Structure 1
C-alpha cells in the first residue's frame, strides 16, 4: 500500500517535469523572480450549489501582458494535466460547470464552479499564455473536492404574538448564476399568503427568497414550520423552525377532592384542610400569586403551578382567595370562595326567612288589590241602578203626577190657526198649519214640582219620553 502511494507521487512529479518540458519551452523559468499567484489551496463545493474562488497572479515588471493573453486552468487526470477551461478578453471555453470570471490580461485568474459532478474533483494548475511569454504557476495547486449537499435554507427570525400578523422569509442556499431553486413552505395552518422573488447582483449571481404571511394563534405555539428547497437533479434541502407564539396567561384552579367544575366555591368545617392549585398557561412565563383580602399568602411554586395549603381551618380562615397571573401580554384573575359550614347554615336560614317574608308580603298586596277591585265594581253597579230608577220616576212625575194637571189648555194647532187669522190683513208669510216644529226635553234628574196658575195662558210643545 505504501509502495502504491509513493508510486503516485513519483508519477505526479514526472508529469510536472513533462509539462515543464512540453509547455515551458521558450518561457521564463519558474524560479525567476516576479511570478506569483494567490488563491485558495483547497476548495469545497456542494452538489447542486456553486462556489466562486478569487485568484490573482503577477508577472515581473519587465513583462507586459497583452489583451491576447490566455488564462488556462489544467486538471490532473491519470498523471497528466489536461486543459479544463480557458479564457481571453474575447473568447471563453468552459465545460458548463467550471468558469473563469476575471480579466486575464489584468492578472485575474478567478474561477467559478456551479453544480459540480464527482469528476470535477481533482487538482488544478493555472497557466497563462501570451505572444512572447508563457508561465505555469505550480507553487499553489488548488485541490477541489465535491461534497454532498449539506447547506440548508435560512428562515428569518421574528417575534410571534397571538393575533398579530407576521411574515417569515426563507432564503435558498447559494448565490449562483444559473441555478433556479424551487421553494416550498410546509405548515399546518390556514389563512396564509405566499410571495416568491429573487435578487440579482452586479456579478450576475442571484439569491432566491420566499415570504409567508399569517396570523399566529395560541394553538400554533410549538408548531413546526418547514421550508423545503429543491435544486438541480432533484437535490432537496430542508430547514425547520419551531414557532414560539407569545400569549397572555390563562388560569385553571383545582382543589383536591372537589369537582373542577365546582372549584369556584367550597364549604369547609372546623379542622378541615384544603390544597388549592393555580395552574397557569402563558408564554412567556407569568408571575403567579395567591392572595386573600389583598395580602400575599405563603405558597409553593413549581413550573407555573402555585400550590396553596390551608390547614386546620376555622371560621376566621375562610374568605375569598384569589390567584393572579401576570406577563407582558396581560393579567388574569381567578377566585375561590371558601365558606364555613356554620356560616353557610346561618346564611341559609336568614335567606329563607327573607324570601318567605317577601313572598307573604306579595300575597297580602295581591289579595288587598283584588278585594279593592271587587268592592269598587259592586259599588259602581249599585250607583248605576239607582240612577236608572230615578230617571224613570222623573218621567212618570211629569205625566202622571195629579198636581201637575193644567186646565183650559189650548192645543198647538188652535194656537197656530189663531195667529194666522190675526195676520191675514198683513203681508205676512203664510205658514202651513201642518208645518209644526217640535222639540224634545229630556230629564235626567228629579226636578221640583211646578204649580201653574190657571189664569195664565201658556203655549205647549210636544214632550217625548226618552230613556236615560
Structure 2
C-alpha cells in the first residue's frame, strides 16, 4: 500500500506537466523598438481546478537556474538581474495562472529567447516560451499647431511622443528655432512651446528633439513655419521705352518724369502670405476711381498729357492691404531744327561775335590814343619849365 501512495504524487506530477505543456498559451515572438515598452501575454490553465498562487520566474535562454538570477519573478525578496531590475515585471497580483511579462525601456541587450519556470509542491516546469526582438527606434515625435499661425498672434505648439509608454523613463524634450519662443507646460509624453510669429518667421525651421535617456537614443522632427501676414514692402519696377534697365521705386508718393511719346511698363509686387491680389488705380483707390489693371502689371504705350497724374498700386489679402502711389509727369521733347536754320543760327551767332570783337578793338585803340596824347603834353610842359 505504501509504494502506491508514493507513486501517486509522481503520477499527478506527470499529469500536471502534460496539462501545462498542452494548455499554456504564450506568444511565440514579440518585437519592440529600442527605448519603448512591450507586453508579453502569457496564461496557462489547469485541467483540474486551480492551485492558487504559484512561484514563477522568467529567465533568459542559456541561464543556469541554480546559479543565474532571473530577469523577472513574482517571488517577494527574490533578486533579479541588475540590467532588468525595474524593467522586466511579472506582477504578483496579475491573477492566478497569469504569467504575462511587462518590459519597459527595451534595449538591444534584451534580444533573445526567454523561458518561464513555474514551481509547485509537486513539480517544476520550464520551457522556452517566446523570442524578444529589439529593433532600432524609427518613431518620430509629432508637432501639432492649433489653427493658423498669424503674425502677431501667439500660438501654443505641442510636441508629443504618443508611441512612448507612460511606465517608461520620461523622455527629454528640447526645441530649436530662430523664431521668438518660450517654453510652456510639460507632461510625461509632451512639451508645449509658445510661439510669437513674425513675417520674417515664414518658412523658418522649427525642430523638436526627444531623447530617451534610458537607452541614449535621440529622435527629432523638423517643420517649416507657415506664417500668414498682411502685404508689406511693396516695390514698383519701372521699364521705360525699350530699355532693359529697371528702376525700382520703394517709397510712397514718388515722382517719375518721362518724355512725351515714350512707353512705360510698371510692375508692382508685395511681400505677403497668402499672396496678395494686386491692382492698379488712377488716383487713390479710396476715392472710388476707375480700375486700370487687376494684376500687378500696367503699361502706358505712349505717354502724353492724358497719362500725367497719380497712379496707385494696391495689394490686398485676408489680413490687410497696402498701397503705393506713383506721380507720373510728362515732359515735351525739344523740336528738331532744319539744316538751314541751324546754319543760319550758327552764322548769326558768328556775326554777332565778330561785331562785338570790332567794337572792342575800336574802343581799345581810342583809349590808347588818349593816353598817348596826354603823355606828349606832359613832356612839353616839362621842357618849358626846364628852358
User: Normalising to structure 2: TM-score of the pair?
Assistant: 0.64
Unaligned runs of 5+ in 1: 1-23, 199-206, 300-305, 344-468
Aligned with residue 269 of structure 2, among 242, 263, 279: 279
Q: For residues 408-455 of structure 1, what are the alpha-carbon distances to aligned partners after superposition, in whole Å with 9 as ceiling and x for unaligned?
A: xxxxxxxxxxxxxxxxxxxxxxxxxxxxxxxxxxxxxxxxxxxxxxxx
Change (3 A) 1:100 1:289: farther
Aligned with residue 177 of structure 2, among 159, 166, 187: 187
Q: 1:117 Cα deviation (Å)?
A: 4.0
Question: Following superposition of structure 1 onto structure 2, how do residues 81-230 of structure 1 map, counting pairs within 5 Å?
Answer: 84-88=70-74, 90=76, 94-95=80-81, 96=85, 97-101=87-91, 103-126=93-116, 128-132=118-122, 141-158=129-146, 159-171=148-160, 174-177=164-167, 179-190=169-180, 192-198=181-187, 207-230=188-211
Q: Is the 8 A contact 1:27 1:134 kept in 2?
A: no
Is residue 328 of structure 1 aligned with residue 318 of structure 2?
Answer: yes
Aligned with residue 61 of structure 2, among 76, 92, 97: 76
Q: 1:241 Cα deviation (Å)?
A: 2.7
Larger radius of gyration: 1
Distance 2:219 2:75 in 1: 38
**Alignment root-mean-square deviation, CA:** 3.7
Question: Following superposition of structure 1 onto structure 2, how do residues 32-431 of structure 1 map, counting pairs within 5 Å?
Answer: 35-37=23-25, 39=27, 41-46=29-34, 49-60=35-46, 62-67=48-53, 69-77=54-62, 84-88=70-74, 90=76, 94-95=80-81, 96=85, 97-101=87-91, 103-126=93-116, 128-132=118-122, 141-158=129-146, 159-171=148-160, 174-177=164-167, 179-190=169-180, 192-198=181-187, 207-230=188-211, 231-232=213-214, 234-250=216-232, 251-256=234-239, 257-261=246-250, 264-292=254-282, 293-297=289-293, 299=295, 306-341=296-331
Residue correspondences, number: 299
Higher relative strand content: 2
Q: For residues 122-164 of structure 1, what are the alpha-carbon distances to aligned partners after superposition, in whole Å with 9 as ceiling and x for unaligned?
A: 12344544445766676xx533222334433333323321111
Change (3 A) 1:260 1:64: same
Unaligned runs of 5+ in 2: 1-12, 240-245, 283-288, 334-387
Of the structure 1 ranges 306-315 and 84-93, higher mean CA displacement relative to structure 2 is found in 84-93
Q: 1:248 Cα deviation (Å)?
A: 0.5
Q: 1:326 Cα deviation (Å)?
A: 1.9
Change (3 A) 1:321 1:61: farther
Change (3 A) 1:183 1:261: closer
Q: Is the 8 A contact 1:89 1:103 kept in 2?
A: no
Residue number in structure 2 paired with 1:359 = none
